[in-house]
Each structure stands twice: as C-alpha cells, then as structure tokens.
Amino acid sequence: MRHIISILMENEPGALSRVVGLFSQRNFNIETLNVAPTEDPSLSRLTVTTVGDDRVIEQITKHLNKLIDVVKLVDLTEGNHIERELMLVKVKALGAARDEVKRTVDIFRAQIVDVTPSLYTVQITGDASKLDAFLQAMAPVGILEVARTGVSGIARGDKVLSL
Amino acid sequence: MGRQRHTAALDTAGCPADRTRDLQGRNTVELLSGADMIARFLQDEGVEYIYGYPGGAALHIYDALFRQDKVKHILVRHEQAATHAADGYARASGKPGCVLVTSGPGATNAVTGIATAYMDSIPMVVLCGQVMSHLIGDDAFQETDIIGVTRPIVKHSFSIRHPSEIPEVLKKAFYLAATGRPGPVVVDIPKDMTAPTERYEYIYPKKVKMRSYNPVTRGHTGQIKKAVEMMLKAKRPVFYTGGGVVTGKASEGLTDLVKQLGFPITTTLMGIGSYPQSDRQCLGWLGMHGSYESNMAMHHADLIIAIGARFDDRVTNNTSKFCPTAKIIHVDVDPSSVSKTVRADVPIVGPASSVINEMISLVQGQSISQPEALTEWWQKIDGWRAEREGKLYEPSKPGEVLKPQEVVEALCRVTRGEAYVTTDVGQHQMFAAQYYKFDKPNRLITSGGLGTMGFGFPAAMGIKQNFPDDDVVCVTGEGSFQMMMQELSTCKQYGVGVKIVNLNNASLGMVRQWQDLNYKSRHAHSYMESLPDFHMLIEAYGFTAITVNTLDELEPALERAFANKHELVFLDVKVDPFEHVYPMQVPLGAMRDMLLSKTERT
Ligand SMILES: Cc1ncc(C[n+]2csc(CCOP(=O)(O)OP(=O)(O)O)c2C)c(N)n1
Ligand SMILES: [Mg+2]
C-alpha cells in the first residue's frame, strides 16, 4: 500500500542525505520526496511517499525515527489527511487543440500560467491521482515537459505535527 | 557559546591557554584554540587513551595532544587497528573508545573498524581531520567526503563548522555514542577549525540536550506485566539473550531473573558471558555453529524470551521455519530491532537493565504455574545434552597433529577461564567461542556482526593497555593475523603484553570448510602455500615465539606464555587443516536442522 510519511527534522546540512541514504541502504522505495524549511527555520519538513506492506512501513518509520536529525514524524495515511501536489506542464496548443486544452484545463480547475503561439504552460494542484488523470487527458494533444513537486500533505482536523 | 574571535601570535613555546580577565585581573573564561579545545575536552570527558595516526589535516590536534599528558595517544601502524583497539577497549570497559585519524586515506583506512563497531553496537568516537573548509568540494589533496562514506555505518556524524562549536559537538558525539543503542560517531574536523592562532571561549558542557534524541529509559509496564504472566505460565520456556545485555550492563540482573525462574538460557555469540556458562541452566550459545542443545531447545520451545538480541540470520536460520511452536517476547532498546525479521508477540522497547529489574520485582514471590512441565522440559534438554556429550569432536591421537578444539580447552584451563579472549574471524573464532567457558560478560571480544578478519590482535592491544594486570589473549588464524600483524610494532613501542595463540591450520579454514561442503572440495584460493615463518617474524620484533606441534608440548608452552603478564608471546600452534566446525545449521533449514560432524546429521 502507498503511504505518505511526513517528517520534521533538523534543518542541518546532511540531514536530507541521511533520509535518502536510509531508503537506499535498507532497500526501501521512494516514490516522491519533497522538502523545505518550516516557519521555524531550524526545522525542515520532508514528505515522502513510499509503497510497502505493513511490516516494511513499520520498519521505515522506525528507522526514520532512529535518525538523530529526525525530530518527529507521522504516517499521514493512517488517518484522514489532505494530500496535494503541484505540477507544471507544457502542452502543445496548436489549431483546434488549443481550445480543447483550454477546456480541459478548466474542467480540472487548473490554470494556464504562460502562453506562446504554439504551447500552453499549465499549473495544476491536487492529489497525485488528479495530476495523473490530467496527464492522461493531455497525452493525445502532446505533452512537452512535466515538472511535479512530489506529494505534500497534512492531517485533517485538530491534529498537528509540531514540536 | 562565545563566537568572538581572539587572535594571538603563535609563540614558540607552544600555545598556552589564554584567558580573558575581569577588571580586578581575575581569570574568567579560558580561551583556547580549536585543537587545544579538543585536547582539553578529551581530558574533561575522562578519556584516557586515544588511538590514532597523524597526517596533515590532524597536525594541529597532534600538537595540542603533545602539549599535555593526561590523554595518552597510542600510535598504531594502520588506522584500521586504531578503530579496533578503541573498539576492544570499549567492549571490555563499557566506555566509548576514541580514535583520531587524518583526512583522506587516514579516514578511509578507519572505515572497516567503524563498520565493525556499528554492526555490534559499540560506542566509539572517531575524530577525522579534514581539509580546510574553503577547499572542501574541490578534490583537494587528501580530501574524502568521510561523512558521506561512513553515513550508512555510523550512529551519527558531525562536521565542525566553527571552532567555538567544538566542546558542544564533542559532548554530543560522546553522548550519542554511549546512550540508547550505542554505536560509532564520526566527527569531521576541517584543519582551519583547529588553527592555533584563533582562540575562543572554552567551557566543558556538563549536560547535553537534543530535542530529536531521547532514548527510552524504561519499558512499557503493561507489556512487562504481560510478559511476566506468560513466563510464569510457560511449559517450555527459553531465554535467548544477546549483546544488548552486555552493552546494557544488565548481566547481573539477567542472572538473577533466570536463576529465580529456573529456565534454560542460551545466548548469542555477542551475548556470551551475560550468564555464567558454567552454570547448569546455560545451554551455551545458539545459531549457525551454536550448541546442539541450544538449537534444539529453541526449536521446541513454547516461549522465547529474547533480550538485547536481534534475530540475526546467523541465529534464526530460515525465519519461516523458526521456532514454530513458540510465542515470542522481545525486549530491545532499539524499536527498529523489534519485529524486524521475526514478529514479536509481546514487544517491549526499553533498556535491558531496567526491563529486567522490573521483571524481577514482578516475579518475586510468584511461582511458576506448571512446575511439572518445566521439569519435563529440563529432562528433554538434559537428554539432548547427553546425546552429544563426549562427541563434540575427536581429540587427536598420540603423535597426531593437534585439534584446534583441544588447544582452546587447554587455553581455558591455563587461564582458569578468566582471560579476556579476543578472536579474529574463521574456524578459530568459532572454536574459541565454543570451547572457552566464559562466566563473565565483556570477556569474549569478537566481531560478530561484520565478521572482520584482522579485528582480534588490535582489539587485544586496546584491552591490554587498559587492563594491564589481566590476561589478554588473541585467538587467531594465520590468515586473519596477517591482516593486522603490523601492530606488533605498536606492541613493541608501548610494551603491550598480549598473548597470541595462532591456530595455524595453514588454510583459510572456514572458507575451506564451505568449499568442502558446497563445492566438492575445490579449494579455490583457500590454501596458503606461502606462509611466513611466524617464529622468525615474531623474533624480528624482539618478542618470544613458541611453536607447538604436539599435545605434550601444548600445556607447557601455554604456561610459559602466560608466566609473565607484561611480555608479548606468540604461540604458533600447528593444528589439523581438515577439521570442520560443528554443529553447523543446514542452510534454509529450521534451527534444529544441523550437521553434527562430517558424518552425522539431525
Ligand atoms: C576482512 C575479511 N575478508 C574476508 C573474510 C571471509 N573469511 C571468513 S573466515 C575466512 C578465513 C579465515 O582464515 P584464518 O584466519 O586462517 O582462520 P581459520 O578459519 O583457518 O581458523 C575468510 C577469508 C572475512 N571474514 N573478513
Ligand atoms: Mg587458518
């Protein structure tokens, strides 16, 4: 099963490499990874999506927790949560397809953020499956370039991940 | 921490501590260079010995160590030996070992020793010189990203980014190395961080606090209660305890608990001595080359009480066939060890000592609910014991070449089972662990997790320097000894009186055994046709060597070797090159599936 693990860690040089290194060292897999400092500049928040059975996920969270730089973590998929990813896509927009792309962008509540005579640059946010669906819809038109941020997430309700 | 920089001219008399003075001229804080801070910190931390080897990036630190005499620096002949020596010291004393190496090749030479300590959870702090900060990343002379190289084999690592951080970072390094599940910590120190001309305030940090690191101090009371209830009800219980009991200093408590319950106990290779082996309740050690009765008891148990052990593949054999009828209680200080390879029915995360003490207080005044079942269990175990009694190996006949097992038995007799025994890796390691009887923890010092040939001799050196009045003996093989034999020179320099028993089978015995069993005796590169004359080699360093060929020479040679505690003596004992280590678990089988000799199998 796919899990989204969010980690608060010390914003120290090398901290990220310890997390990434752990995954390769222990043969765990990383689907997406995203990291940035939080409102407290001494802390970074890292979100990783990974796939594994319960035993593997238990090992992943235990080993992450063991890293000295990791302050706290949560497996968001254990409860209700909000999952978001941002994607920028360059698609061909020529002739009849130009309108077709515009309509699809609206349907997905995406935005066109840059335009040239031959292409649109589209920005879209949502969970990973929505982004996948958008790419599928655009495939016949011609996708030129894709940049995805990787999944970020937060728990619903009163629960907070903080110190 | 004061980051204010105070520059001073480098005076020729060295760099004595500078001090700031208040208006009345009284000393307030000390001002020290980064290098002097390191030396001072090590003194304040109570480090007695540091093992190392100098080089460009570490020279400021070497100069600072030279100008003091509290911390003694031991110059090894290869950085790997420095780490093994510090490791041996740590295992024997329970305190972190300390190492100092230079950047680049100095640091990479230390890698095997760091990995060895990591696999066996040994506390160690390794200080590595590094090129000057402004050169990092430029492929400067002797630059290696040692933080990157060692990342998967350290508990944690630090890079010094400002000299004023040194006391705090070193304090954290020692704290991390020794607490929770211990392990090696690497500190990377760019040369400019130790410049003698730049001085900063030095205060020894008495305490450390890290918001991201809070090792557990006790187990979950409810879980411990549940475990004790299961223990009192068990019909066929076995304790299975590991290195965590030794490093967690919980041997006494464990012995109490096991005696009170009257249960059998088997230990891992790393846990040897955590319960006295000469006691009737001890079945020896378990696993690949463990005792017949240990492996049989594990396989037939209905309750396994694992403490400070990690269900390593050398113990469990095939996990899907592992102990089919047993419920499992697993106590470990490291949550990631629990249910890693074998699922625990009652997981308890906590330090061995506190969990064991809680168990003792719960067991006190209680009695086991099925004493007849336990008696029956013991009859079964005694039966297994009796089955193998006197059949463990075939002693040599008069005039025949010695069996390695009888050499270890004689060694145990001559040293009354009280020596610190280090080993290298191979058949001799297994024989040492099987035939020397250890009644105390921290006495068998062996590389269990990594299986590092070359470990034994430098480890013995580290122990002997710290326990000069004890017998310290390295049981080695001619293959392993040649991996670190340059340390004879270190022993000469410091007068280290270790004893070396070379079980010389003129072959990489363990490799040859596998080739006999799995490759129709095609001995690809396991035979060593070009061995040195060890006698001459040892004498070249000015030490005594004794060659032993026959049984009647053996004990007198051992007596002679151990007569003087302060003299290094090398025993080159010629042993049977065709001997195999048994029992040996059958690959992919259950714990009870064992080869018992060249012709017998369970
Ligand atoms: C550094 C290292 N290289 C290779 C091995 C693989 N290995 C394990 S045992 C062994 C043979 C050891 O020979 P020796 O020291 O003579 O011991 P013996 O088995 O003959 O008693 C080898 C090569 C190892 N454990 N460590
Ligand atoms: Mg050999």
Q: What is the pLDDT of residues B33-82, one digit of tens each?
A: 999 999 999 999 999 999 999 999 999 999 999 999 999 999 999 999 99
Residue B176 has pLDDT above 70, yes or no: yes
Residue B576 has pLDDT above 70, yes or no: yes
Considering only alpha carbons, which residue of chain A is nearest residue B176?
A: A68
Task: List phi, psi (to 5°) of B179.
Answer: -105, 170
User: Which tops the pLDDT comparison, B218 or B14?
Assistant: B218
Query: Which contacts of B395-401 are long-range, i.e. CB under 8 A and separated by 24 or more positions?
Result: B396/B551, B396/B576, B398/B551, B399/B550, B400/B576, B401/B549, B401/B574, B401/B575, B401/B576
> Which of chain B's residues have a Cβ under 8 Å away from the Cβ of A21?
151-152
Query: Are the beta carbons of A68 and B340 separated by less than 8 Å?
Result: no
ipTM for the predicted complex comes to 0.92
What is the mean pLDDT of the segment spanning B276-291?
Answer: 96
Mean pLDDT of chain A: 96
Identify the pLDDT of residue B594: 95
Same domain, B362 and B264: yes
Q: How far apart are CA B396 and CA B453, in angstroms?
A: 27
> Which of chain B's residues have a Cβ under 8 Å away from the Cβ of A62?
335-336
For chain B, give the percent of residues with pLDDT over 70.
95
Identify the pLDDT of residue B530: 86
- Quickly state the pLDDT bin for B21 (edges 50, 70, 90): low
Q: For residue B586, is it within any domain? A: no
Which of A9, A21, A70 is closest, CB to CB, to B151? A21
Query: Are the beta carbons of B157 and A14 separated by less than 8 Å?
Result: yes
Query: Are the beta carbons of B152 and A63 separated by less than 8 Å?
Result: no
- Quickly state the pLDDT bin for A163 (edges 50, 70, 90): confident
> Which of chain B's residues have a Cβ under 8 Å away from the Cβ of A17?
148, 151
3-state helix, strand, coil in chain B (%, to 5): 40, 20, 40
B139 DSSP β-pair partners: none
**Whose CA is closest to atom 24 on ligand 1?**
B453
Residue B10 has pLDDT above 70, yes or no: no
Q: How far apart are CA B238 and CA B304, in angstroms?
A: 5
CA distance A31 to chain B (A): 21
Identify the pLDDT of residue B47: 97
Looking at residue B397, the DSSP 8-state letter turns out to be: P
* A91 interfaces chain B, CB cutoff of 8 Å: no
Alpha carbon A53 to its chain centroid, in Å, reads: 20
Query: Are the beta carbons of B212 and A58 separated by less than 8 Å?
Result: no
What is the mean pLDDT of the segment spanning B214-229?
Answer: 96
Identify the pLDDT of residue B27: 63
Relative to the CA of B425, which ligand 1 atom is closest? 9
CA distance A36 to chain B (A): 18
Residue A20 has pLDDT above 90, yes or no: yes
What is the mean pLDDT of the segment spanning B350-376?
Answer: 96
Residue B534 has pLDDT above 50, yes or no: yes
CA distance A139 to chain B (A): 41
Same domain, B347 and B414: no
* A17 interfaces chain B, CB cutoff of 8 Å: yes
Q: Using CA atoms in the order B192, B197, B198, B204, what is the torsion angle rounded to 10 degrees?
A: 100
Same domain, B49 and B182: yes
**Whose CA is closest to atom 11 on ligand 1?**
B508
B156 burial (CB, 10 Å; 0-12 / 13-18 / 19+) is: buried
**Whose CA is closest to atom 20 on ligand 1?**
B509
> Any idea what the Cα angle at residue B481 is, between residues B427 and B114, rounded to 5°?
90
* A29 interfaces chain B, CB cutoff of 8 Å: no
H/E segment holding residue B219? none
Residue B6 has pLDDT above 80, yes or no: no
- Quickly state the pLDDT bin for B9 (edges 50, 70, 90): very low
Farthest-apart Cα atoms in chain A, separation: 56
* B330 interfaces chain A, CB cutoff of 8 Å: no
Which of A14, A58, A63 is closest, CB to CB, to B339? A58
| Domain covering A2-79, topology | Alpha-Beta Plaits (3.30.70)
In this structure, what token pair is assigned to residue A104?
Answer: 């699809």
* A16 interfaces chain B, CB cutoff of 8 Å: no
Q: For residue B499, is it within any domain? A: yes
What is the mean pLDDT of the segment spanning B274-278?
Answer: 97
Identify the pLDDT of residue B79: 98
> Any idea what the Cα angle at residue B375 is, between residues B374 and B376, rounded to 5°?
90
Per-residue pLDDT tens digits for B294-352: 999 999 999 999 999 999 999 999 999 999 999 999 999 999 999 899 999 999 999 99
- Quickly state the pLDDT bin for B23 (edges 50, 70, 90): low
Amino acid at B74: I
Best residue of A66, A73, A161 to probe chain B, by most B CBs closer than 10 Å = A66
Identify the pLDDT of residue B3: 54
Considering only alpha carbons, which residue of chain A is nearest residue B340?
A: A59
- Quickly state the pLDDT bin for B20 (edges 50, 70, 90): low
Can you identify the CATH homologous superfamily of domain A82-152? ACT-like. Chain A, domain 2 (3.30.70.1150)
Write down how long chain B is: 602
Same domain, B431 and B516: yes
Same domain, B98 and B11: yes
Same domain, B264 and B320: yes
Report the catalytic residues of B: 79, 141-142, 191, 510
Same domain, B229 and B370: yes
Per-chain residues with Cβ under 5 A from ion ligand 2: B 477-479, 505, 509
Q: Are B475 and B429 in contact (CB under 8 A)?
A: yes
Residue B13 has pLDDT above 80, yes or no: no
Q: Using CA atoms in the order A124, A130, A136, A139, what is the torsion angle rounded to 10 degrees?
A: 0
Q: For residue B121, is it within any domain? A: yes
* A70 interfaces chain B, CB cutoff of 8 Å: yes
Q: Domain count for chain B, please give it.
A: 3
Pocket around ligand 1: residues whose beta carbon is below 6 Å from it? B 424-428, 451-454, 477-480, 503, 505, 507-511
Per-residue pLDDT tens digits for B93-127: 999 999 999 999 999 999 999 999 999 999 999 99
* A161 interfaces chain B, CB cutoff of 8 Å: no
Per-residue pLDDT tens digits for A89-124: 999 999 999 999 999 999 999 999 999 999 999 999
Q: How far apart are CA B266 and CA B290, in angstroms?
A: 9
β A70-75/A43-51 pair status: unpaired
- How many CB pairs lie under 8 A apart between chains A and B? 36
Query: Are the beta carbons of B335 and A62 separated by less than 8 Å?
Result: yes
Omega of the bond prior to B583 within 30 degrees of 0, cis?
A: yes
Quick check: helix, strand or coil at residue B123? coil
Q: For residue B596, is it within any domain? A: no
Q: How far is the CA of B521 from the centre of ligand 2 (A)?
A: 16
Looking at B340, B363, B388, which one is the last position of a domain? B388
Residue B427 has pLDDT above 90, yes or no: yes
Identify the pLDDT of residue B18: 54
Q: For residue B395, is it within any domain? A: no
Identify the pLDDT of residue B190: 98
Q: How far apart are CA B202 and CA B37, in angstroms?
A: 7
β B569-574/B499-504 pair status: parallel
Identify the pLDDT of residue B525: 79
Print the domain residue range for B441. 404-581
* B556 interfaces chain A, CB cutoff of 8 Å: no
Q: How far apart are CA B158 and CA B198, in angstroms?
A: 21
> A137-146, B433-442, B528-537 — which is least confidently predicted?
B528-537
Identify the pLDDT of residue B14: 44
Query: Are the beta carbons of B211 and A55 separated by less than 8 Å?
Result: no
Mean pLDDT of chain B: 94
Per-residue pLDDT tens digits for B121-163: 999 999 999 999 999 999 999 999 999 999 999 999 999 999 9
Q: For residue B594, is it within any domain? A: no
Q: How far apart are CA B594 and CA B264, in angstroms?
A: 20
Residue B16 has pLDDT above 60, yes or no: no
Farthest-apart Cα atoms in chain B, separation: 87
Which of A55, A62, A71 is closest, CB to CB, to B211? A71
Query: Are the beta carbons of B212 and A71 separated by less than 8 Å?
Result: yes
B133 burial (CB, 10 Å; 0-12 / 13-18 / 19+) is: middle
Identify the pLDDT of residue B12: 39
Quick check: helix, strand or coil at residue B162? coil
Identify the pLDDT of residue B8: 47
Q: For residue B600, is it within any domain? A: no
Looking at residue B151, the DSSP 8-state letter turns out to be: G
Same domain, B129 and B276: no
Same domain, B247 and B375: yes
Q: How far apart are CA B428 and CA B436, in angstroms?
A: 11
Relative to the CA of B503, which ligand 1 atom is closest? 21
CA distance B156 to chain A (A): 7
Residue B86 has pLDDT above 70, yes or no: yes
Looking at B202, B236, B257, which one is the last position of a domain? B202
CATH number of the domain within which B541 lies: 3.40.50.970
Looking at residue B33, the DSSP 8-state letter turns out to be: E
- Quickly state the pLDDT bin for B26 (edges 50, 70, 90): low
Give the per-residue SS3 of chain A: CEEEEEEEEECCCCHHHHHHHHHHHCCCCCCEEEEEECCCCCEEEEEEEEECCHHHHHHHHHHHHHCCCEEEEEEHHHCCEEEEEEEEEEEECCCHHHHHHHHHHHHCCCEEEEECCCEEEEEEEECHHHHHHHHHHHCCCCEEEEEECCCEEEECCCCCCCC
Q: How far is the CA of B293 from the centre of ligand 2 (A)?
A: 28
* B203 interfaces chain A, CB cutoff of 8 Å: no
Per-residue pLDDT tens digits for A21-30: 999 999 999 9
Same fold, A2-79 and A82-152: yes
CATH number of the domain within which B230 lies: 3.40.50.1220
User: Which tops the pLDDT comparison, B24 or B525?
Assistant: B525
Same domain, B482 and B565: yes
For chain B, give the percent of residues with pLDDT over 90.
92
Residue A150 has pLDDT above 80, yes or no: yes
Q: For residue B320, is it within any domain? A: yes
Per-residue pLDDT tens digits for B375-394: 999 999 999 999 998 889 99
In order, the DSSP letters of B248-279 are TT-HHHHHHHHHHHT--EEE-STTTTSS-TTS
Q: How far is the CA of B405 from the centre of ligand 2 (A)?
A: 13
Domain boundaries, chain A: 2-79, 82-152
What is the mean pLDDT of the segment spanning B440-446?
Answer: 97
